[in-house]
Amino acid sequence: PSNYNGRFSDQPMTLRQALWASTNTVAVQVGLEVGLPSLIDEARKFGLTGRIPAVPSLTLGSLDVRPIEMVAAYTTFANLGIRTEPNAILRVEDDRGERVYEPTPVRRRVLPEVVAWTMTDALKGVVQHGSGNAVWQAGFRFPAGGKTGTTNDYNNVWFIGFTSDIVAGVWMGFDQLTPIMSNAQGGRLAAPAWAGMMQEIYQRRSAPADWPQPANLMRSVEIDITNGFRATPFCPREYVEMRSFPPGGEPTEYCPIHTPFGPGQTD
């Protein structure tokens, strides 16, 4: 697999940065380290029902999936770990406005809350800093996360995004595998469409709340965002950010690049 732009970075990056930039090679490396059978098991838990090939490109989306399944999968992040089954019927009312039928939502926990919060926090970065930044640039500034998607030869583009109370997806493509346009990208086409739709929706409803950090479940440490190590007093302050991690998931080693003796030097 290669990256979308055909180039490879020789610079270290965190998993968040790789997610923000849709860095394919990092996704494949992580998938192979976790194990393809484990990834397939997780995909089933998220509600993906189609054929899932056990190949490295699985992490890049090499499977057929319906938009409604992807939207339902992302409810797991919006609900901090609980997936909600899609339902086309909200309720049935009679001619007097009385409710005669209202289905019970089908919900199931798929991820621990702390894991879901961490993933949601990373997906918020996609919208603010990464491939989905068109949402932010379009003026949609409510707390939101999401992910872009672009297939080979510009045949399909995606954006699945969510707030704390709405999950929505945009897919663009043709019935037959035909390029949409030159350089068609999820961030270029689908993300702005999603932003426009959501702006219209939130003109008619209250602003969504941000996701609360799970109490006593996260540990916050300062890291150097250029390499993922814990920050030292010698890391440039523009590289230092406070990040929250599940217990035991925080980096323990300090940045070896920025030292009192110069870049990468030790006593």
Distance CA 96, CA 2 (A): 60
Structure tokens at 237: 């302050």
Q: What is the dihedral of CA 49, 53, 59, 61, to 10 degrees?
A: -60
Instruction: Name the residue with higher pLDDT: 198 or 247.
Output: 198
Of the candidate ranges 55-64, 151-160, 177-186, 256-265, the one whose mean pLDDT is the lowest: 256-265
Q: What is the dihedral of CA 209, 86, 129, 119, to 10 degrees?
A: 80
223 is a domain residue: yes
Beta bridge pairs of residue 82: 109
Q: Which residues of 71-92 are buried (b: 16+ CB within 10 A; e: fewer)?
A: bbbbbbbbbbbbbbeeeeeeee
- How confident is the model over 173-192, as a mean pLDDT? 92
251 is a domain residue: yes
Residue 6, pLDDT score: 61
Domain that residue 237 falls in: 218-267
Q: What is the dihedral of CA 83, 89, 93, 98, to 10 degrees?
A: -10
Bridging pattern class, strands 156-162 and 167-173: antiparallel
Do residues 187 and 133 make contact, with C-beta atoms less than 8 angstroms apart?
A: yes
Task: Tell me the per-residue pLDDT of 87-105, one tens digit each, with 9 for 90 and over.
Answer: 999 999 999 999 999 999 9
Smallest CA-to-CA distance from 170 within 132, 205, 117, 143 is with: 132
Distance CA 24, CA 83 (A): 26
**Which residues have CB under 8 Å from 172's CB, separation 6+?**
156, 157, 158, 180, 184, 189, 190, 193
Residue 7, pLDDT score: 64
Distance CA 123, CA 110 (A): 17
Task: Tell me the per-residue pLDDT of 183-213, one tens digit each, with 9 for 90 and over.
Answer: 889 999 999 999 999 999 999 999 999 999 8
190 is a domain residue: no
**Is residue 3 over pLDDT 80?**
no
Task: Tell me the per-residue pLDDT of 30-67, one tens digit each, with 9 for 90 and over.
Answer: 999 999 999 999 999 999 999 999 999 899 888 889 99
234 is a domain residue: yes
Residue 222, pLDDT score: 94
Distance CA 198, CA 211 (A): 18
% the chain with pLDDT above 70: 93
Do residues 115 and 82 make contact, with C-beta atoms less than 8 angstroms apart?
A: no
- By the 10 Å C-beta count (0-12 exposed, 13-18 middle, 19+ buried), 205 is classed as exposed
Residue 264, pLDDT score: 54
- How confident is the model over 110-128, as a mean pLDDT? 95
Taken in order 143, 21, 146, 122, the sign of the CA dihedral is: negative
* pTM exceeding 0.75: yes
- Report phi then psi at 86, rounded to 5: -65, 145
Distance CA 102, CA 92 (A): 6
- The number of domains in the chain is 1
